[in-house]
Structure 1
Amino acid sequence: MLPPVFATGCFLARLEDKRTSVAASPPRVWALLSHRAGESSQILALAEALAWPYERKVMHYRWSAGAIGLIRVSASAGVAARSRAELEPPWPDLLITSGLRNEPVARWIAAESGGATRVVFIGRTWAPVEHFDLLVTTPQYRVTPAPRVLENSTTLQAVTVEKLKRAESEWHSRLANLPRPHIGVIVGGNSGPYTLGANGGRRLAAEVSRYAQKLNGSLLVTTSSRTSKEAVAEIESNLTGNYDFFPWRKNTPNPYFAYLASADELVVTGDSIAMLSEACATCKPVSVYDLGRATLAMRHERGRREKPGDWLRQDDFRLSAMTYWLLMKIGPRRLSRELRIVYERLLAEGRMGWFAEPPPAGPVPPLADVERTVARVSAMMSERHCDRD
């Protein structure tokens, strides 16, 4: 049975009945998917929320695709020959995409359409934002505010009551006998300056196990595609008490959404803003598990001094993590992300707390980022239709 929060109207209705009518017939929409699963999830989340028919476009790329994106040109040269047939007229009225490799392609499609195609780009761009009709971004990218920029608190996601109910029903027999409260634990992996290795996995398993036992509850633990084999092994070996553990496997059905549905509260490793966004979309209590230590902790206040020597105090050392940290200090902003900005925003909005600390007071406010984006895109397409008339 879904926890009572689902009866409170926490989920905002998608704007299917509130969108401005753009035409007698819906616009032609292409969802140009990314080679990164997280980016593609956001593309599809927006395409589905708009509720217009859309075509998925899956590209294969040449080795030069990334370099072409970096030099900020409008071109299809990075697309492999076997995918070129996907890029033929009639051109879409609306193109939704993300990722460095897709930037030149999106601009090329807009040019080939004679400017008729509206391009919505998700994340951040290397080319100036003026080359796109709308950039949908989040705080970690530190994008300069502009008329064509929409900054949301969280990433776009497709968590809905219906999806959670289906998942909970599908996996009911697996979870039904676990004592409540259910504590969902969503585990990511290495990201930027943060590392989750064997030692971190061992610490995580021990700490969440103690927490669940203190509540006489059960853990629902799942990993992701970025969780290292070493971390997975240590988590599985060190979980104690009542728990269900499901390590991520490629092309294997996963109880992830069932965990979101069944959990009374959620613990998310702080490396993934996408997973954190999906957890927040449930309007359940969410706490972030800090993968860092000392002054390199995720909760360390931005602007306060960080001690380089604290790299020796981390659970797991990763040279590329330290290199990324240095890049954040001395490199251009566009080369890095600052996840702490997102934590600060969500803490201020009462959407998250830190694991093992008191949760935010009061009810969790509903997310409206998807709805806000749908409204912005619908208005843009309505203006386009009026211009044509």
Structure 2
Amino acid sequence: MPASAPRLWALLPKHRGDARMVEAAAEASGLGVDVKRLAFTPLGWLLNLRSRGSLFTATAAARAQLTPPWPNVVLTAGKRSVPLALWIRAASGGRTRLVHLGRPSAPLGWFDLVVTTPQYGLPARPNVLVQRFPPTTAPEALRPVPADLAALPRPRLMAIAGGDADPQRLDADAARRFAADAVARATAAGGSVLAATSPRTSPAAVLALKQTFASAPVPTRLEIYGEGADDYRAFLAAADAFLVTDDSASMITEAALRGAPVALFPLPRRPGVGLRAYGAVEALARRSQIGRRALGAAIAWGLVRGNRDIGLFVQALATDGLLDGGPRAAEVAAAELAEVGVRLRRLAQANHA
């Protein structure tokens, strides 16, 4: 691509789900992409209060990547990326456009485009695009099912365990119930279980899964993240159905795009002190039209983050039959990603000399 063509900077955060969204959207843009891998100091939790941003919370290595020529568009995800994107725009003289994926935890008006999903409850704004799936690439071609997995009785249920995501908790008790649910489903169907954990699954939950599956009356395979061979992709290829803990939009999306039916296991809700306090205020605000408007304005101005409600994300998918299996989920996700790509190109071309 010519050097004079519009450029996009993809600021990749450490969180795997956020990084995948940024990579998918950047690829869909068709622009020249420069990847900037971010790392932050322990102060990365600080609130985003300056419209001109700051590099204060970034490590020296991360800051060293952010030098001119400045891009036409900066693409971010995650709260900690926001002050860096704002700083880049200020350094460019206001020329660089900003696009954020998910929830920026900052005034929505600071961004040219925010691409989000229903669980964040962002208020309607001209620069807010609400989609059913987070930006995601088409599922990679599945490898042939390994012989040892192909020998397991069908239907093969892939059970995917996540982890804590306030207010949801995957403790040892919830992990045991999740495993028991998977075993019961496989027993009733005369099939088998392929279980996998995530980077967020706690040691206590992992132990509970191991103990429960060890006594299962059906054939069971358990893949622990970071332990031994990585069988996750092989499990995806072999799965005829999914059972997923309901704490992660990215996990639910990955399962849905495989074209097999997806059932969700509801984790217990035990919000921390901050979420409980905000939840009480939010419930009070939603009792009146004035309160709802005030709440929407406070979220839009970045004064409050709003509670993440994964149930709204799941409800939108279920209403459209996108958890039922078949090709439609992948088709919808592809169309939404293409729309994000179009929006990114328009923003880049609008300020390209």
Q: Same fold (TM over 0.5)?
A: yes
Q: Structure 2: how far apart are the matches of 1:255 and 1:53? A: 34
TM-superposed deviation, 1:190: 1.4
Verify: 1:119 aligned to 2:70, yes or no. no
In 2, Cα distance between the equivalents of 1:334 and 1:383? 26
Q: How does 1:134-153 map to 2 (within 5 A)?
A: 134-153=113-132
Match of 1:155 among 110, 115, 134: 134
Question: Displacement, 1:386?
Answer: 5.5
1:273 & 1:387 partners in 2: Cα distance? 33
Superposition deviation, residue 257 in structure 1: 3.0
Given the superposition, is the C-alpha separation of residues 25 and 279 from structure 1 closer, same or farther in structure 2, using an over 3 Å criterion? farther
Q: Relative to 1, partners in 2 of residues 1:388 and 1:154: Cα closer, same or farther, differing over 3 Å?
A: closer
Question: CA separation in 2, counterparts of 1:363 and 1:59?
Answer: 37
- Report the counterpart of residue 236 of structure 1 in structure 2: 210
**Higher mean Cα deviation, 32-41 or 367-376?**
367-376
Shift in Å, 1:158: 2.8
Q: 1:194 to 1:203 in 2, by over 3 A?
A: same
Give the whole-Å Cα distance in 1 for the aligned partners of 2:51 and 2:161: 35
For 1:229 and 1:202, how far apart are their aligned partners in 2?
13
Q: Secondary structure at the match of 1:54?
A: strand
Of 22-31 and 374-383, deviating more is: 22-31
Deviation of residue 211 (structure 1)?
A: 1.2
Q: 2:336 aligns with which of 365, 368, 372?
A: 372
TM-superposition CA deviations, 1:340-362 (whole Å, max 9, x none): 2112211211123xxxxxxx5x9
Q: Residue 189 of structure 1 contacts residue 195 of structure 1 at CA under 8 Å; is this kept in 2?
A: yes
Q: TM-score, with normalisation over the residues of structure 2?
A: 0.83
Distance across 2 between alignment mates of 1:259 and 1:134 = 36
Given the superposition, is the C-alpha separation of residues 143 and 370 from structure 1 closer, same or farther in structure 2, using an over 3 Å criterion? farther
Equivalent residue number for residue 349 of structure 2? 385
User: Match for 1:289: what amino acid?
Assistant: F
- 1:28 and 1:272 map into 2 onto residues whose CA distance is 31
> Superposed, which structure 2 residues align to 1:69-88 within 5 Å?
69-70=48-49, 73-88=52-67
Cα drift, residue 268 of structure 1: 0.7
Give the distance between the partners of 1:199 and 1:379, measured in 2 at CA.
Answer: 45
Structure 1 distance, partners of 2:113, 2:65, is 23
Q: Deviations over 1:294-335 (max 9, x none)?
A: xx6xxxxxxxxxxxxxxxxxxxxx6x5476345323257614
Letter in 1 for 2:192: S
Instruction: Structure 2: give runs of 5+ residues left out of the alignment.
Output: 283-294, 296-303
Equivalent position of 2:196 in the other structure: 222
Does 1:246 find its partner at 2:220?
Answer: no
Q: CA RMSD in A?
A: 2.7
- Separation in structure 2 between the aligned mates of residue 106 and residue 47 of structure 1, nearest angstrom: 15
**Which amino acid letter does the alignment assign opposite residue 82 of structure 1?**
A
- Return the offset for 1:221: 0.6
Following superposition, the deviation at residue 143 of structure 1 comes to 0.6
Shift of 1:150: 0.8
Distance 1:229 1:56 in 2: 33
1:186 aligns with 2:160: yes
Rounded Cα–Cα distance in structure 2 between residues aligned with 1:383 and 1:337: 28
Distance in 1 (alpha carbons) for counterparts of 2:347 and 2:80: 29
Match of 1:324 in 2: 275
Contact 1:182-1:265 at 8 Å conserved across structures? yes
Q: Separation in 2 of the partners of 1:210 and 1:237?
A: 15
Quick one: distance in 2 between partners of 1:68 and 1:269? 30
Equivalent residue number for residue 290 of structure 1: 266
TM alignment of 1:298-309, pairs within 5 A: none
Among all aligned residue pairs of Structure 1 and Structure 2, give the percentage whose two residues are the same amino acid: 31
Q: How far apart in 1 are the matches of 2:116 and 2:343? A: 18
Secondary structure at the counterpart of residue 264 of structure 2: strand
1:349 aligns with 2:320: yes
Aligned in 2, Cα 1:68/1:226: closer, same or farther, shift over 3 Å? Answer: same
Match of 2:82 in 1: 103
Q: Count the aligned residue pairs.
A: 329
Shift of 1:235: 1.0
Letter in 2 for 1:95: V
Does 1:37 pair with 2:16? yes
Rounded Cα–Cα distance in structure 2 between residues aligned with 1:114 and 1:199: 54
